[in-house]
Structure formats: C-alpha cells, structure tokens
C-alpha cells in the first residue's frame, strides 16, 4: 500500500528524497508538481519542493524533514542506522543534521547569491556576487577541512549528511567551481566523486559534467 506522494522535479533539493524512494524501494509515488499543479498549490501554498503527503493526507514540507521521514519508512533498520546514525549515538545523529543544515541553508543560499546573477536570474551587482563567492569559499573551506581528515562527513560511512551536501554542492560544480577551483579543493572533489557515484545518488548524475570556468559576469 502506498505510504504517500513525494513532489519532486529537477530542483536540487528534490534529488535526495527521490533517490531515497527509488533505492530504498519505498512505496511512495513520485509526482512532478507541474503535473499535479492544482493539488500541489492547494496543499502547499509556498509552492516549494520537495513536499510530501502521506496516505492519511498529512503533509510534510522542508527537505530535511522529508528525507528523515523517508529513511524512517525503510524497514531495513541497518540502513536507517547507516544513514541517520544510531539512536544510542545522539552526537553522531546531531552531526548528520549539522552538515545537512550547513549545506541546505547557508551554502545553498550563498551559492544562489553568487550564480543567480551570473545566470541572469537576478540583477547583477559585482560587489554582491564577489561577497557571495567569498562566503561560499568560507563555507566550503569548512567542508574541505573536514574531508581532508575523514573519508565521509560523519562516522566513516555514507550518511544522509553526505547525500544532502553532495547534491547541494552540485550547483556549485554546475556554475562556480571551475578547473582551477577544483584543483585547489582536492579533498572535496574526491568526496564529491565518491558520493555522487554511490548506489543511492548515481542515477541523479546522469549527464553531469564538470565546467572549465566559473560563469562569467553578464556583459553590460
Ligand atoms: N527550506 C526549504 C526550501 C525549499 C525550496 O526553496 N525549494 C526550492 C527548490 S531547491 C524551490 O522549490 N524553489 C521554487 C520557488 O521558490 O518557487 C527546504 O529545505 O526544503
């Protein structure tokens, strides 16, 4: 019996929940919001993705909450422990939340501030873009330091922290992190390669290619 509906599309925050549904073989229907626009708008007035409606009609928003719930739907408790941390290790569980939050909020917001104007999605302001790029570099440095000492972000194995952070970083690799940048961040790139090739995420990366250079400023 279906446990609910996940609304997901091309947007980056929907990659992990969709991959969890697929690879944990969860009885959840994945629907593109564009194909169910009326229900989506009625249930989710903010019209953000991902979102989830369970079989009783209860709704969940916020990618971190949805990812957590989807992993808990999995009957394989070893998989739950792997991805979320064990209940008898609350510090590790909290670290997994910590890295997800840093990626999903601070990092993604600053990456958007940097590449949005370069892509022409927002008005271009050179100083604002340069400031955002610096903030991206500061946050990424925290990941790089961690990954220079650890294969994965938490607990020496693939967790939800890696999945969410890797998916989030994809937008950096799409628009900002050119060849030179990657050469300066070997541990982060090593980890990105590892996580994007994982059984859970690899399907999402079909057709992915690294860029040579960061997007250029629009010509005035
Ligand atoms: N805090 C929310 C943010 C959700 C969000 O902003 N999703 C983006 C896609 S990554 C979206 O739906 N954007 C479409 C829009 O803003 O209209 C979460 O973590 O799920």
Written in H, E and C, the secondary structure of 126-194 is HHHHHHHHHHHHHHHHHHHHHHHHCCCCCCCCCCHHHHHHHHHHHHHHHHCCCHHHHHCCHHHHHHHHH
* Residue to mutate, 11, 64, 68, 100, ligand 1, most ligand atoms under 8 Å from C-beta: 11
Cβ of 63 closer than 6 Å to ligand 1, yes or no, is: yes
Does the pLDDT at position 61 exceed 80?
A: yes
Query: CATH topology of 4-75 equal to that of 85-205?
Result: no
Does the pLDDT at position 135 exceed 80?
A: yes
89 CA distance to ligand 1 centroid (A)? 30
9 CA distance to ligand 1 centroid (A)? 11
Cβ of 12 closer than 6 Å to ligand 1, yes or no, is: yes
Q: What is the mean pLDDT of residues 66-75?
A: 98
Question: What atom of ligand 1 comes closest to residue 14's alpha carbon?
Answer: 10
Token pair listed for 107: 């990092």
Q: What is the mean pLDDT of residues 121-141?
A: 97
Measured CA to CA, the distance from residue 166 to residue 20 in angstroms comes to 14
Cβ of 114 closer than 6 Å to ligand 1, yes or no, is: no
Q: List the domain boundaries for the chain.
A: 4-75, 85-205
Q: What is the mean pLDDT of residues 97-107?
A: 98
Question: What atom of ligand 1 comes closest to residue 64's alpha carbon?
Answer: 19
**What is the architecture, at CATH level 2, of domain 85-205?**
Up-down Bundle (1.20)
In DSSP terms, 4 is beta-bridged to: 28, 54
pLDDT at 151: 98
Cα dist from 193 to 10, 37, 151, 183, whole Å: 20, 35, 12, 14
Cβ of 104 closer than 6 Å to ligand 1, yes or no, is: yes
Task: Label residue 1 by pLDDT band (50, 70, 90).
Answer: confident
pLDDT at 102: 98
Does the pLDDT at position 187 exceed 90?
A: yes
pLDDT at 125: 96
Task: Label residue 158 by pLDDT band (50, 70, 90).
Answer: very high
Q: Mean pLDDT for the chain? A: 97
In DSSP terms, 51 is beta-bridged to: 7, 61
Task: Label residue 185 by pLDDT band (50, 70, 90).
Answer: very high
Measured CA to CA, the distance from residue 14 to residue 4 in angstroms comes to 15
68 contacts: CB under 8 Å, gap ≥ 6: 84, 160
pLDDT at 122: 93
Pick the CATH number of 4-75 from 1.20.1070.10, 3.40.50.300, 3.10.129.10, 3.40.30.10: 3.40.30.10
Does the pLDDT at position 28 exceed 80?
A: yes
What percentage of the chain has pLDDT greater than the value 90? 98
Nearest residue by C-alpha to atom 6 in ligand 1: 48
Measured CA to CA, the distance from residue 200 to residue 198 in angstroms comes to 5
pLDDT digits (tens, 9 = 90+) for 35-44: 999 999 999 9
Cα dist from 198 to 19, 119, 179, whole Å: 11, 29, 23
Residue of 41, 38, 14 whose CA lies nearest to 28: 14
Question: Helical H runs in 76-125?
Answer: 77-84, 90-101, 108-119
Task: Label residue 219 by pLDDT band (50, 70, 90).
Answer: confident
Does the pLDDT at position 218 exceed 90?
A: no
């Amino acid at each position: 019996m279906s446990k609910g509906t996940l609304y997901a599309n091309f947007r980056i925050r929907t990659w992990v929940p969709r991959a969890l549904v697929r690879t944990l073989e969860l009885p959840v229907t994945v629907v593109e919001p564009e194909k169910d626009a009326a229900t989506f708008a009625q249930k989710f007035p903010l019209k953000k993705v991902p979102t989830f409606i369970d079989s009783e009609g209860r709704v969940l928003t916020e990618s971190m909450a949805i990812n957590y719930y989807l992993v808990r739907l999995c009957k394989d408790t070893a998989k739950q422990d792997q991805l979320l941390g064990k209940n008898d290790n609350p510090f590790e569980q909290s670290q997994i939340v910590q890295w997800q939050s840093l990626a999903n909020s601070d990092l993604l917001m600053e990456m958007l501030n940097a590449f949005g104007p370069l892509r022409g999605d927002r008005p271009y302001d050179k100083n604002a873009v340069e400031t955002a790029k610096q903030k991206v570099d500061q946050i990424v440095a925290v990941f790089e330091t961690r990954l220079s000492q650890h294969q994965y972000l938490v607990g020496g194995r693939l967790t939800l922290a890696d999945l969410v952070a890797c998916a989030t970083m994809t937008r950096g690799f799409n628009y900002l992190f050119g060849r030179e940048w990657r050469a300066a961040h070997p541990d982060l790139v090593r980890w990105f390669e590892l996580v994007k090739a994982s059984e859970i995420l690899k399907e999402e990366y079909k057709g992915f290619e690294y860029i040579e250079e960061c997007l250029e400023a629009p010509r005035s």
